[in-house]
Amino acid sequence: MTASIATNQTILVVGGGISGMTAALEAAECGKQVLLVEKTPTLGGRTAQLYRYFPKMCHPTCGMEINLKRIKGNPNVRVMTMTQVVAVAGSRGDYSVTLKVAPRYVNENCTACGKCGEAVKSEIPDAYNYGLGKVKAAYLPHTMAYPQRYVIDASIVGTPEGEAAKAACPVNAVDLGMQEEAVEIKVGAVVWATGWRPFDANKIQPYGYDRFANVITSVEFERLADPHGPTGGKLLRPSDGKEAKNVAFIQCAGSRDENYLRHCSRICCMASLKQTQYVREAWGDEGKSTVYYIDIRAIDRFEDFYANVWKDPTVSFVKSKVARIAENEANGNPVLHGVNTEGYHRYATEHDLVVLAVGMEPEVTGVKLPADIVMDSSNFIEGSKDGGMFGAGAASSPLDVNRAVQSATAASLKAIQVIHKNASTEAA
Closest CB 206 distance from other proteins, rounded Å: 7
Binding residue for other proteins, selected from 69, 72, 121, 346, defined by CB under 8 A: 346
Q: Is 63 in the site for other proteins (CB under 8 A)?
A: no
Q: Is 252 in the site for other proteins (CB under 8 A)?
A: yes
* Alpha-carbon gap, residue 166 to 116, rounded angstroms: 7
Binding residue for other proteins, selected from 163, 175, 257, 376, defined by CB under 8 A: 257
The three-class DSSP label of residue 294 is coil
Binding to other proteins by CB under 8 A, coded x per residue (else -) over 200-239, reads ------x---------------------------------
For residue 125, which phi and psi values (nearest 5 degrees)? -60, 140
Binding residue for other proteins, selected from 340, 349, 365, 409, defined by CB under 8 A: 340
Which residue stretch of 51-59, 153-161, 308-316, 339-347 sits at the interface with other proteins (rule: CB under 8 A)?
339-347
Closest CB 156 distance from other proteins, rounded Å: 45
Binding to other proteins by CB under 8 A, coded x per residue (else -) over 307-326, reads ------------xxxxxx--
Give the up-direction half-sphere exposure of residue 204: CA atoms within 13 A in the CB hemisphere.
30
DSSP letter at 118?
Answer: H
- Contact (CB, 8 A) for 204 and 260: yes
338-365 burial, b if ≥16 CB within 10 A, otherwise e? bbeeeeeeeeebebbbbbbbbbbbbbbe
List binders of other proteins among 105-124 (CB under 8 A). Answer: none
Closest CB 162 distance from other proteins, rounded Å: 49
**DSSP string of 334-403, one letter each residue:** EEEEEEETTTTEEEEEE-SEEEEEEPEEETTTTS---TTEEE-TT--EEEETTSSEEE-GGGTS---HHH
Binding residue for other proteins, selected from 101, 213, 339, 413, defined by CB under 8 A: 339
- Residue (59 or 321) nearer to other proteins, CB: 321
User: Of 415, 413, 394, 414, whose CA–CA distance to 404 is shortest?
Assistant: 394
* Alpha-carbon gap, residue 189 to 225, rounded angstroms: 40
- Residue (51 or 207) nearer to other proteins, CB: 207
* Alpha-carbon gap, residue 189 to 416, rounded angstroms: 8
Q: What is the Cα 50 distance to its own chain's centre?
A: 9
Total residues contacting other proteins by CB under 8 A comes to 20
Closest CB 293 distance from other proteins, rounded Å: 9
Q: Is 377 in the site for other proteins (CB under 8 A)?
A: no
- Residue (64 or 261) nearer to other proteins, CB: 261
Which residue stretch of 253-261, 300-308, 350-358, 372-380 sits at the interface with other proteins (rule: CB under 8 A)?
253-261
Binding residue for other proteins, selected from 313, 344, 368, 427, defined by CB under 8 A: 344
Which residue stretch of 91-99, 123-131, 221-229, 336-344 sits at the interface with other proteins (rule: CB under 8 A)?
336-344
Which residue intervals of 99-237 are DSSP H helices? 115-119, 160-168, 218-225
- Residue (2 or 377) nearer to other proteins, CB: 377
Q: Is 197 in the site for other proteins (CB under 8 A)?
A: no
- Residue (256 or 274) nearer to other proteins, CB: 256
* Alpha-carbon gap, residue 376 to 261, rounded angstroms: 12
- Contact (CB, 8 A) for 408 and 26: yes
The three-class DSSP label of residue 175 is coil
Q: Is 338 in the site for other proteins (CB under 8 A)?
A: yes
| 12 strand-pairing partners | 35, 190
User: Of 98, 99, 96, whose CA–CA distance to 7 is shortest?
Assistant: 96
Q: Is 258 in the site for other proteins (CB under 8 A)?
A: yes
Closest CB 255 distance from other proteins, rounded Å: 9
Which residue stretch of 32-40, 64-72, 341-349, 401-409 sits at the interface with other proteins (rule: CB under 8 A)?
341-349
The three-class DSSP label of residue 6 is strand
Closest CB 254 distance from other proteins, rounded Å: 10
Q: Is 86 in the site for other proteins (CB under 8 A)?
A: no
List of residues 6+ apart from 38 with CB closer than 8 A: 15, 16, 20, 45, 79, 80, 81, 82, 83
Closest CB 345 distance from other proteins, rounded Å: 10
- Residue (100 or 321) nearer to other proteins, CB: 321
Site residues for other proteins per CB under 8 A: 206, 252, 256-259, 294, 319-324, 337-341, 344, 346
